[in-house]
Amino acid sequence: MNPAKPLLNVVLLLSLVFPIYVSLDTITPNQPIKDGQTLLSNQKTFALGFFSPDNSNRRYVGIWYYQITEQTVVWVANRDNPLNDTSGVLSINDQGNLILHSQNQTIPIWSANVSVSLSTTKNSMARLLDSGNLVLVQQDNQRVQLWQSFDYPTNTMLPLMKLGLNRRTELNKYLTSWKSKDEMGTSNYSLGLDPSGYPQFFFYMDRVPLWRIGSWTSQGLGSVPELAPKFFNFTFNFIFVNYQDEITLMYDIIDLKALPKTRFVLHELGTLQFFIWSESRWVGILFKFEYCDKYLVCGPNGYCDLYNVDKFVCMCLPGFEPKSPHDWYLRNGSHGCVRKQGVPTCNTGEGFVKLAHVKVPDTSKALVNMSLNLEECERECLRNCSSTAYSSTYESEGIGCLRWHGELVDTRTFFDVGQDLYIRVDVVVLGIFYYFTKLHLLVFLTSYNVFEFTKYVTLPNTCPNNNT
């Protein structure tokens, strides 16, 4: 028996339990990190190194919070190619690329996969920032960024991390959950941006829309009212940009007393949760799917109203009727609604009915004009006979014009949040709503918003706990 082997096993075990923290925050061509060594960011906020999840022998390279008691991994490099031993090395190769390989192999297990010019092949270095971002830069000019981990998120969104599309590189950055708590491979749940039409975020399962989170409304994301800054007891700031070079969403925490540790996590069970570190533990806010959040649950031209407790939650938009009355009677709204027959909606005195507090329909095929206000948007919509509805893009300012043509898909109501949607109806339906509203004006004024009697009227939502 080799007498040195037991000692080697003890040394290996100690290196796994008590990793060696190097003082530098960079990896250079002459200074890689090996399994058992860990890189620290400048302010010791984050650490980068090798780790194994609980109940697993797989070895991953990842980034985690350093100065908290509970190891919390926020990014994983080789999530789909874990190592089976402790021979891993993270280094800068001769081509200036950041790679992960075994000590006895030359073929990378994982790579940043960047193209580096000949003049910078031996001049690049990787630095771990206090934001949790690992960046590959040039040593002599660190403003030249070759690659960053924030462009390739895994299941976690950190402050200042952008989700969305880089139009120059066509890189779409999205979250993807782990397969399980012990296996960090790419699963079938993802959250990302659909840039078509007016950009909006979706929750996918196997790349099929499961939940439409919606577009940016200046107050938050369409179907997640909990993400509005007013729901937090600290300064929470979302930043959405739609420029020539990018369409992205990120968030930041602004607190003059202390900068809290926060993160969004897409879980392996398909749930989204926001965490804040408070009193030595993570406190989470879980964003749950409601029945009305399921994509297309009420079909085209239908909308979902959870507050309509006495009737079927699926309802037809004004001017529409169930496409399949039999299925509708059986509480199956998936076939949706169709325009009532024999009533024209083009140049016959038609107008609009306002449905308040809604998640507006799917905007992937909507037309957007940010230079128009709401009144101008109405006139533009009336001029085009194929326009079926309109709304403002920014709900608080009443600016920006969204116009839909054809079917209105995936609309739902809220109790006291959401946007106003104006649905095109024929003169008969408009007259019915006008008469109905006028007849019951005194009753409605005690329960709902004041109605507008111009070219459109207000269709009130059904509200819970309404005894009038």
Q: What is the pLDDT of residues 35-93, one digit of tens each?
A: 999 999 999 999 999 999 988 899 999 999 998 988 999 999 999 999 999 999 999 99
Domain limits, the chain: 15-152, 156-289, 292-459
| Banded pLDDT at 449 (limits 50, 70, 90) | very low
**Rg, C-alpha atoms of the chain:** 27
Check pLDDT > 50 for residue 103. yes
Q: What are phi and psi of 155, to 5 degrees?
A: -105, 5
- Residue 4 confidence (pLDDT) above 50: no
pLDDT of residue 461: 41
Q: Which residue has the higher pLDDT, 116 or 120?
A: 116
**Is the predicted pLDDT of residue 117 greater than 80, yes or no?**
no
Which of 218, 154, 240 shows the shortest CA–CA distance to 191?
154
What's the confidence (pLDDT) of residue 444? 36
Q: What pLDDT is stored for residue 403 in this prediction? A: 96
Asked if residue 151 lies in contact with residue 171, where contact means CB atoms within 8 angstroms, the answer is: yes
pLDDT (0 to 100) of residue 94: 87
Least confident of 76-85, 111-120, 296-305, 384-393: 111-120
CB 185, CB 80: distance < 8 Å:
yes
Inter-residue contact 356 to 452 (CB < 8 Å)? no
Residue 200 pLDDT > 70:
yes
For residue 186, is pLDDT > 50? yes
**pLDDT at 1 (0 to 100):** 46
Q: Supply the pLDDT for residue 435.
A: 52
Mean pLDDT of 363-390: 93
pLDDT band at 140 (very low <50, low <70, confident <90, very high): confident
pLDDT at residue 462, rounded to an integer? 38
CATH assignment, 15-152: 2.90.10.10
pLDDT of residue 454: 34
Q: Which of 405, 399, 407, 409 is nearest to 377 (CA)?
A: 399
84 in helix, strand or coil? coil
Who wins on pLDDT, 256 or 274?
Answer: 274
Residue 102 burial (CB count, 10 A): 17
User: Over the chain, what is the mean pLDDT?
Assistant: 83
Q: Which residues of 305-321 are buried (b: 16+ CB within 10 A; e: fewer)?
A: bbbbeeebbbbbbbbbe
Quickly count: other Cβ atoms within 10 Å of residue 256's Cβ.
7
Mean pLDDT calculated for residue range 263-287: 90
**Range scoring the smallest mean pLDDT among 5-9, 177-181, 207-211, 357-361:** 5-9
